[in-house]
Amino acid sequence: MDFQEIINRIYNEVKPMTVYGKIADYIPALQQVSSGHLGISIQTLDKKSYCKGDCNIPFSIQSISKVFGLTLAYSKLGSKLWDRMGKEPSGTSFNSLVQLEHEQGIPRNPFINAGALVVSDIILSHCNDPYSELIDFVREVCNDPNVNYNDSVAASEKETGDRNYALAYFMKSYGNIKNPVEDVLSFYFKQCSIEMDCRNLARSFLYLVNHGTNPFIGKNILNASQTKRISALMITSGMYNEAGDFAYRVGLPGKSGVGGGIVAFIPQKLSIAVWSPALNMSGNSLAGIEVLERFTSYTGDSVF
């Protein structure tokens, strides 16, 4: 299959759609990004690379980083992780307080903000140097030692992160946050500020493509069972409250971020990352979803 020809065709079809949607302007540092970008990168398990458009421009991966945080916490805590959060789709906004109150401080899943805050709390409790351990892990899985946090984005999120503080303090009142809230939020904002381009982002998910083993160094990060569970959660909960529509249209495990990135994968085959900053009403890249739907339609390949 000629993946380069396919993504060239998709790029030409979808590029005009980048004028639609809205930048995530509630995070001031993201306001400065042009909405006209579109980058596509495919990385196959045999380490072949296919790119089109703005695939070399770094961007803030935002909530895509929750997959890395979850992987790190899962590798430390194992199945005990699920004592502190659920595995069900939320069906509500990614930063809902109402749902968290109804469920007495137990987040519905690790990909809504409340769940990611609990994951951050676990990492703080189980890592000697959590900031270094997380970024070193990301650098390892994308095979690029230059990937880093963006301090200005992290500071910008902290300035406007009142809802996340509310979520964290509410869970602390139920005993589901163990560390000081300020420490948990600082780590969470830093995690979300990680910058990557489409090439690195696609490469970074090859360990999930490969049943939990980093193909660049042959290191087992998760076992096959843990990888299956993260993949399932990405299908059911990886796209905020648009997860059902994404599964229907695209048919792949995927995770999005309000920086406009989406990454998805086909187990034992490939990963694909898309970046287009303008978002739809659910907070997902409008053009990015179009790219991924056309990719699985034109290739006839998905997990279903």
Write out the catalytic residue numbers. 63, 66, 188, 240, 258
What string of H, E and C letters represents the secondary structure of the chain?
A: CCHHHHHHHHHHHHHHHHHCCECCCCCHHHCCCCCCCCEEEEEECCCCEEEEECCCCCEECHHHHHHHHHHHHHHHHHHHHHHCCCCCCCCCCCCCHHHHHHCCCCCCCCCCHHHHHHHHHHHHHHCCCHHHHHHHHHHHHHCCCCCECCHHHHHHHHHCCHHHHHHHHHHHHCCCCCCCHHHHHHHHHHHHCCEECHHHHHHHCHHHHCCCEECCCCEECCCHHHHHHHHHHHHHHCCHHHHHHHHHHCCCCEEECCCCEEEEEECCCEEEEEECCCECCCCCEHHHHHHHHHHHHHHCCCCC
